[in-house]
Chain A
């Protein structure tokens, strides 16, 4: 019997068929992002430790506090999960368009406008309608405006050739100005003196906590959105078409795929998730729309999406991890006397190293079964 080198089910070394081979290949291909990702995180933590050592503090103590503050107790886990909720949604705002090869960095604008739209929707309805329909309408309003905002960037990209990175950024600044105008002007609650806000939502109109937990429903909404996005990308023909268009626009057009509608549609869905994050902030955390909506969730979402390699399911653990790092900031500040920006430095370091490690994908033979035959 001659050895068929191109048959993956036959071990070249022994010439005998092996049932282990497909499993090994499957594992190798999936191990690549996990191993490289973990190594990147370790390198990032190592560099950050050097920084902490350089300013004369103990990295061991810092990491221990970070663990305690983020995940050490049920209380801190719940705190981390609450902080992860908006990040799940804003990360989707980056990850979905990324599948089409678009870099959207203006999610913050959709968050802010989503929050304002939700508050504006609630104002006339509170007291006249029951809570649940009001919350649903708030969510719809936030998703429509958020979707329109980021969808506009996608639309302009395809039909006018305007770079989506820059236009979404400009739209984000415009959105913040619009929010200030609304919150200071027509939507302002006269009772909010120092911090202009819309009228506060009554407690029974707030998005409450998940039963048995001190975490609001935003977490569930965020996780559901990630799962829906994953199904959309991985299991539907739209997701497939989007991935084709993201790989090569010309090829997609030659295949007759509606690239323009895909781009506009995916950016609109992405924006509607970011808008929903704004609604969650208003209805579960702030109780009203105010300047705190522009707290940087949109920008941290970029980090989460890139760390998760734009995979909606991977966004869930990454967002919880970053939520935890975020939540531990206060403890580090109190116990070690370090500024709250410590967390920002760590996030930036991790972000840079993980992006740098993209360069190692495909470099290691061990992860690439196509190269095995020649060497074994």
Chain B
């Protein structure tokens, strides 16, 4: 193999690179949504939270010249969005799915409104770690130039997976998610747990947004998210509310999304736009294959309105 042209091997490599680059926002949003849904509530507003997080992170990074302060500010705003969603949904007769759609519209509107002045200036980017240093091939080096947030997201997935099983907080969350009555019997206030779980979910989704504006594609504009926040909701079902499943599903999504550009780079141009649909088709097919009209999905929290 020559060192410059790696020919057809460029396709899997580009898919791997794409998976690592594109999956990070999916990892964070889906982990956040997993925490929220495990508590028995669904937040469809994470698309708005993600975009508002992207705007906040970019604006704060521009003003303070520190991308990490930007990430922290985004997390704070994401938590605020989650608290608003959680507080509204604790009232009787309020539909959490509809409130999510409303919060999405509000978050997008507010982000576009407040973010107008930040379309021009350049923010400092988040750092990447060159994990491909061992290779002399520039393609591999580029593919393995991994952002810190990706590694944090991967670590978080494993921590959450462990925490759901082995910690008191994880147990409380699962009980609240499975049965409001059981939670009350344990002396746990389900509304408060759901409020906090939605806030944590929001702050994680905002990290996903910060990654978009501060690393890849690395600028703030109104089209920065192409539905990553909404897709994460499907992804959580796809991953069966399992954090490690979320991580793997996010990688799969990222890889499927990179399929089109990767094939185009080696000269396959037929059906280019259809490849963009690959992650969505994949999710739909798996949902059809694994759903059943007579029982709820395996692993679904019992109190979740979505799977009833």
Contacts and interface: CB of A to CB of B under 8 A. Distances in A.
Given A181-B274, A348-B109, A159 B293 contact: yes
By CB atoms of chain B within 10 A, which of A156, A170, A303 has the most? A170
Nearest to B222: A341
What is the predominant secondary structure among interface residues of chain B facing chain A? helix
B234 A169 contact: yes
Interface in A128-183: 156, 158-163, 165-167, 169-171, 173-174, 177-178, 180-181
B105 interface: yes
Contact of B98 (A103, A160, A346, A361): A103
A359 to B, nearest CB: 4
Interface size grouping (class) on chain A: 35 or more
Nearest to A173: B280
A166 B293 contact: no
Interface stretch (B159-167, B197-205, B281-289): B281-289
A352 interface: yes
Given A356-B91, A359-B91, A181 B271 contact: yes
A285 interface: no
Contacts of A156: 288, 291
B106 A352 contact: yes
Given A163-B307, A344-B112, A351-B106, A359 B94 contact: yes
Given A160-B291, A163-B307, A348-B107, A178 B94 contact: no
A291 B101 CA distance: 23
B303 interface: no
Nearest to A302: B101
Contacts of A177: 273-274, 276-277, 280
A242 B109 CA distance: 35
Q: Which of A166, A169, A342, A362 has the most CB of B within 10 A?
A: A166
A160 B293 contact: yes
A342 B111 CA distance: 10
Nearest to A350: B102
Interface in B251-304: 271-274, 276-277, 280-281, 283-284, 287-288, 291-295
A161 B105 CA distance: 28
Contact of B291 (A103, A162, A178): A162
Contact of B99 (A174, A185, A299, A352): A352
A78 interface: no
Q: Is the interface of A mostly helix, strand, loop or mixed?
A: helix
A358 interface: yes
A25 interface: no
Nearest to A169: B230
Contacts of A299: 101, 105
Contacts of A160: 288, 291-293
Interface in A245-286: none
Contacts of A189: none
A214 B95 CA distance: 39
A352 B102 contact: yes
Report which residue of A161, A171, A359 has the largest number of chain B beta carbons within 10 angstroms of its beta carbon: A161
Interface in A15-63: none
Contact of A351 (B105, B111, B284): B105
Interface in B151-202: none
Interface in B78-96: 88, 91-95
Contacts of B307: 163
Interface string B9-27: 0000000000000000000
A341 B94 contact: no
B102 A355 contact: yes
Which has the most chain A C-beta neighbours within 10 Å: B106, B112, B283, B294? B106
B306 interface: yes
A190 B227 CA distance: 30
Contacts of A340: 112
A299 B106 CA distance: 12
A345 interface: yes
B97 A339 contact: no
A339 B93 contact: no
A347 interface: yes
B195 to A, nearest CB: 15
B276 A180 contact: yes
Contacts of B273: 177-178, 180-181, 184-185
Contacts of A174: 277, 280-281, 284
22 contacts: A156-B288, A156-B291, A162-B288, A163-B237, A163-B291, A165-B44, A165-B306, A170-B234, A173-B231, A173-B277, A174-B284, A180-B273, A306-B101, A339-B112, A340-B112, A344-B109, A344-B112, A345-B110, A347-B109, A358-B93, A359-B91, A361-B93
Interface of B: 44, 48, 88, 91-95, 97-99, 101-103, 105-113, 116, 227, 230-231, 233-234, 237, 271-274, 276-277, 280-281, 283-284, 287-288, 291-295, 306-307
Given A170-B284, A345-B113, A348-B48, 18 more contacts: A159-B293, A160-B292, A161-B293, A166-B234, A166-B287, A169-B233, A170-B281, A171-B280, A173-B231, A174-B280, A178-B274, A302-B101, A339-B116, A341-B113, A341-B116, A345-B110, A348-B103, A359-B91
